[in-house]
A and B are shown apart, each in its own frame.
Chain A
């Protein structure tokens, strides 16, 4: 009890006279704030990208592509094959007709507003069933495209990132003119990065005959995936891969988010090491400034342990302030900041928001505490071992 009282007393004393040491303390605080800011900002890209990719994937929706194609852009299926897929067991029906959409996925060059350079924007040809397959998609402005016409509906994110996609605008791809007739929302998922049109129109434009690239079907339930997979595997007319939408999108998200993490974590560790040096420096300075004070306390009967603990507490507290500041700054500046990048896996642009998640903020605070503990420990050791008589003589 006496020990705790001593620790409390010394710590309170330290904190009360912190204002006299603002210079050094500020450096420690800013150093830690920078680490947490950069950590949260970089990793929030991975978190935001994953959220956008994964929120598009439903477990009860399957995507069927030619075997081995790994991405829609590479795949190709004939109309006959697509019909077999749509009518296979496991597919949910609305009345008599299966809930399915035959789709083509191509990229077109559209100017990105932020760079003013052409970017690979995904253009998806869909059937009317697309809206039933993806329950989160709804028109929020204008109207749905009409079958057979050169009309586009554009995702909300695509509209904000790429030039000339306002409702009513005309846009030219190669030799064909298109009219933007509507905007759709898809709960911030990757679908919102896309432009949609009637698959038949797109087949003509790309001279694809009546072939498609993928078939999306609603399943009767998550367990029906195995049923569908088996039925299609047993059909000699087909050579296809069947994936749940969720698995498909997580495989598409993996390379980029892994890359960001591979860069982001070592970057943070390096910066944190730098911040530990900064913290050590300011805590050594703090101990040397307080030398007389510590010696006086020791002469009054305070033990070395409370002195050690109070110095560590001071350092950790400063780090914590830095961590909270850095985290708050990251949240204010970066959370929700919208960017688009080329996703190598689909060779097309994905628009996503930086997501400074609570999980990232927690990790940042933990990093700040570790920096504070490491930065405080050795100076604290010195403070505790300060030879009392000598320090007092310096007065």
Chain B
């Protein structure tokens, strides 16, 4: 630390060169932040899934429904503490581009299974009581400007009503949110009773079941017990933890993580070259100075340290600035586009990885110039100067 002034002066010896290097490092870490946040959205909520919740799907595929009679049978399976169901509605608001998820659910059961969803008790109560009531994630209410009491028509793409209509009208009874910054609530819940009564076909079924295991129960055993009950029936089930289901679903998109890593690999490879080149130019120009340092008593290791620290300093300056800008952009996007681009989030892990990359890249870029500086022979260097 006592050499900081020296390192700082050295780093800014050529202002334009150092500024340009810092700016390219900044761009690299800004890309890192943005790509990580988008990659996070593709994990389909894997990180916010509960380990105590299991999802029961039709084994053929998740578009196939399950009989509603399964609710009681799943509920009485040993190790199951609570169970409810949800279905996919697949509608849109006004324009087919305004796609968001809508789920017919049993209001109180659903919120009991998802305690992380925060809703005012009186809103939940009036939602449960109003047959055509609905509650939406706060992101949707903000995006479309909905207020409690509003009538919201949703156009069905799958579920025509028994009367042949495709427009389902709901009355907004409240909004819900989650405190977890990683979670998104950009969806709509409405009453299963209304759905069941009004739909033209598919009666007596639910899309999937969600269950919570009893404290101390083994999720794998419970999942097997549920699936065994329905084995060899026309509707076999596949039960997995919510996290496993989310992870498996995320993989349907293909390996987004790999694509992100490849891009970042190209970015950081270039970055190393830029920073390494800056450092070697800088050391080359300073050979006489470094020799003087050695002459006045700086040891080999001290010279090595000074050059390496300079390299790390330049990358950390750019990196911290880049991450900070990235963080602001991601926060802004999560606030203003939470309904369009749900789930973008810059995780603390990503920040830690970025910090490790900064130090690593700093050492790597500075290593050869620093070794060169360390090995300088005073006599030769001064003679050249």
Contacts and interface: CB of A to CB of B under 8 A. Distances in A.
A and B interact: yes
Interface of A: 23-24, 26-27, 30-31, 34, 37-38, 41-42, 66-71, 73-74, 76, 106-109, 112, 114-115, 117-120, 173-175, 206-207, 239, 263, 267, 270-271, 273-275, 277-278, 280-282, 284-285, 339-342, 347, 349
Contacts of B38: 263
Given A115-B251, A273-B27, A349-B252, A70 B96 contact: yes
Contacts of A277: 20-21, 23-24, 27, 274
Given A115-B255, A120-B252, A174 B234 contact: yes
B63 A106 contact: yes
Nearest to A211: B201
Nearest to B158: A74
A114 B255 contact: yes
A31 B252 contact: no
A106 B61 contact: yes
A66 B165 CA distance: 12
Given A27-B274, A67-B166, A175 B263 contact: no
Given A119-B251, A341-B253, 9 more contacts: A31-B270, A68-B155, A109-B62, A117-B247, A206-B64, A274-B23, A281-B274, A284-B16, A284-B20
Contact of A66 (B62, B160, B262): B160
Contacts of A340: 254
A264 to B, nearest CB: 10
Given A271-B267, A274-B27, A120 B274 contact: no
B59 interface: yes
A31 B63 contact: no
Contacts of B23: 274, 277
A282 B277 contact: yes
B261 interface: no
Contact of A31 (B61, B164, B274): B274
Interface of B: 16-17, 20-21, 23-24, 27-28, 30-31, 34-35, 38, 58-64, 90, 96, 155-158, 160, 164, 166, 201, 232, 234-236, 247-248, 251-255, 259, 262-263, 266-267, 269-271, 273-274, 277-278, 280-281
B201 to A, nearest CB: 7
Contacts of B273: 26-27, 30-31
Given A34-B269, A271-B31, A278 B24 contact: yes
A42 B62 CA distance: 30
Contact of A267 (B64, B263, B274, B281): B263
A118 B277 contact: no
A274 B24 contact: yes
A120 B155 CA distance: 25
Nearest to B166: A68
24 contacts: A24-B277, A24-B281, A38-B263, A41-B262, A70-B157, A74-B157, A106-B63, A106-B64, A120-B252, A173-B60, A174-B58, A174-B60, A263-B38, A270-B27, A275-B24, A278-B274, A281-B20, A281-B21, A281-B278, A284-B17, A284-B20, A285-B281, A340-B254, A342-B252
A270 to B, nearest CB: 6
A68 B156 CA distance: 7
A117 B251 contact: yes
Contacts of B60: 108-109, 173-174
Contacts of B235: 174
A339 B262 CA distance: 15
A174 B59 contact: yes
A77 B30 CA distance: 51
A376 B129 CA distance: 70
A7 B277 CA distance: 29
Contacts of B269: 30, 34
A343 B269 CA distance: 32
Contacts of B90: 74
A26 B277 CA distance: 9
By Cβ-Cβ distance, the 5 closest A-B pairs, closest first, are A274-B27, A342-B252, A277-B24, A174-B60, A74-B158
A284 B69 CA distance: 75
B72 to A, nearest CB: 22
Nearest to A71: B157
A327 to B, nearest CB: 14
B3 to A, nearest CB: 26
Given A68-B155, A115-B251, A42 B274 contact: no
Contacts of A270: 27, 30-31, 34
A341 B166 contact: no
B248 A117 contact: yes
Contacts of A275: 24, 270
Contacts of B259: 42
Contacts of B247: 117
Contacts of A108: 60-61
Contacts of A349: 252
